[in-house]
Amino acid sequence: MKTLVQLAVIAVFLVTGTLVYCQQTQTAPAASGDSPLVRAAKKERERREKLKEAAKPAKSFTNQDIEEFKARNKDVESSTEEEATTEETPTLEETTTSTSNDLENEKKWRNRSHAAVERVKNAEEKIEKLQSDINALTQSFYAESDGVAQRGQIEAERNSRLNALEAAKQELETAKQAQEDLRDEARREGALPGWIEE
C-alpha cells in the first residue's frame, strides 16, 4: 500500500512537470514571434513576391499577328508542298502487294499458332485420359479379391500407363515450349498480337 501511494505521488509530479514544460515551450516562441509557423509563412510570402517581380507578361496574339506570321511563312509552305508532291507516293500495285503479303503472313501465323495450340490441347487431353485410366486400374487393383493372378495383370497394365503418362507430360512440356518459342518468333518477325492464339 505504501509503494502504491509513492507511485501515485511520483506520477502526479511527472504529469504536472510535463504540463508546465509544455506550456513554457508553447508560449515562448509565440512571445518572441519566432515560431516555425510564422517563419514558414514569411518565407512563403517572400517567395510569392519574388515570383511576381520575375514573372514576364504573357504574350497575347491578335488576328494581325497571325496574318503577319502567315505572310512570313508563305514561302516555306509552298516549298513544303512542292517537296511533298515530288516524293514518291506508293502506287496501287504496291499497296495491293503489301496487303496481300500481310494477308499471307497473317494466315501463316494463324495456322502455325493454331497447330501449336492444338498440340498442347491434345497433350493435355491425353494426360487426362491416362490419369483417369491409372485411377481406375488402381481402384481395380485394391478391389480385386480373387488373389495374385489378376493383381499381376492389373499392376503391369497400371505400370505401362504410368510410363505413358510420364511420356505424355514430357510431350506437354515440349508442346508448351514450342508454343512459347512460336510467340517469340512471331514478335521478332513483326506478326501482330492478334494473329497468335493464347
User: Is residue 46 domain-resident?
Assistant: no
pTM above 0.75, yes or no: no
89-98, 99-108, 163-172: lowest mean pLDDT where?
Answer: 89-98
CATH number at residue 165: 1.20.58
Confidence band (pLDDT; 50, 70, 90) for 83?
low
Residue 110 lies in a domain: yes
- pLDDT, tens digit (0-9, with 9 covering 90-100), for 34-74: 788 888 999 999 988 888 877 766 777 888 888 888 888 87
Whether 185 is covered by a domain: the verdict is yes
Structural domain of residue 178, as residue ranges?
104-189
Indicate the number of domains in the chain: 1
Residue 150 lies in a domain: yes
Contact 157, 141 (CB under 8 A): no
Q: How far apart are CA 22 and CA 29, in angstroms?
A: 12
DSSP character for 194? G
Instruction: Judge whether 135 lies within some domain.
Output: yes
- Would you mind telling me the total number of residues written for the chain in this entry? 198
| 3-class SS of residue 61 | coil
Tell me whether residue 142 is in a domain.
yes
